Chain A
Amino acid sequence: MIRLQHLTKSFGAKQVLNGLCLEVPDGRNTVVIGGSGSGKSVTLKLIAGLLEPDAGQVEVDGEVVQTMDRSELAALRGRIGYVFQFAALFDSMTVAQNIGLGLVKQGYDEATIARRVEESLAVVELSGTEDRYPAELSGGMRKRVGIARAIALKPRYILYDEPTTGLDPITSAVMDDLMRRTRDLGVTGLVVTHDMRSAFSVGDRIAMLHCGAIRQVGTVEEIQATDDPVVRQFIEGRPGAALPMPAGGSPE
Chain B
Amino acid sequence: MIKMMLSCKDISEVASLAIDETLPWRKRMGMHLHLFICKHCRTYVSQIGFIHRALHHRSDELVHMGLVERTLSVEAKEKIREKLEQQKG
Q: Do A and B interact?
A: no
Q: Which residues of A contact B (CB under 8 A)?
A: none
